[in-house]
Structure 1
């Protein structure tokens, strides 16, 4: 069985995870506690770590069963196939969130000027600077090689 990423309607992550558990589909919606400020009070609330994402563990044949749940939009795809998350990555997220020393976590996309280290592919272990990010591609500058990469998302 593999872990897949289900894309949900905005703000439906916890509801979708609850309904998936009710129909016996193993799922994981990582939650973090944040303090929200209203005009008259502060309150601790649990919010999803990844907006609009819920991880589900099931066989390839059972993948369509998640669409029985209201709020499920589609699977997240990577290179034309449903994205598979390794079990070790799910365990790492769980262990990181169980650490009580963490006070604030946020997931932010790359933005212009960020320095990154490429981890896979022909240019693995190369340092790069993000020059542009759109919904369909990312452009990074590899100064040490004197070239610019345009990475298209599929």
Structure 2
């Protein structure tokens, strides 16, 4: 009898600057991996170049059955540990993964990552590419800046949203 896999998304913490390598090695092991990347322009003394950098430094996301596949992940060079509380890895919802996919498709709206929960008004987005996303408004102005905070990895990202698209919660 073949036992069915029950996969969930998890975040793994990786060695510094190993995000892309770990992502590639996990995929070579036929594990589902997701690394949200943003295109940025880097200036060197002699040239400018477009490079892709991780949205969250040090994190790679995997969709695995923890019971059967966690060892394959931990044995991957560069992987330090699963992110979680104590010894229990935190499950990341499919919805959060979809929000991350949306965020990297809308790079012009992104500003910076934050690692502390900001104080402010909690809102839901009513329209646009971030529809139904909930977050905290951190700045008032022509465009409100909202932080979308992912509790499972204790990281957030700041985005610009037209104020008319926001509903206070």
TM-score (norm 1): 0.68
Structure 1's 46 and 93: CA in aligned 2 closer, same or farther, altered over 3 A? same
Rounded to whole Å, the distance in 2 between the matches of 1:65 and 1:14 is 17
- Specify every segment of 5 or more residues in structure 2 that has no aligned partner in the other structure, as ranges: 1-6, 124-169
Match runs of 1:134-153 below 5 Å = none
1:48 equivalent among 54, 75, 78: 54
Which one of 13, 21, 35 corresponds to residue 29 of structure 1? 35
1:98 aligned to which of 95, 99, 105: 105
Q: Which residue of 1 aligns with 2:8?
A: 2
Q: Say yes or no: does 1:13 pair with 2:19.
A: yes
Q: Any unmatched runs of 5+ in structure 1?
A: 120-154
Indicate which of 105, 116, 119 corresponds to 1:115: 119
Query: In 1, distance between residues paired with 2:56 and 2:30?
Result: 22
RMSD: 2.4
Moved over 6 A (4+): none
User: What SS does the aligned partner of 1:11 have?
Assistant: coil
Q: Which has the larger radius of gyration?
A: 1
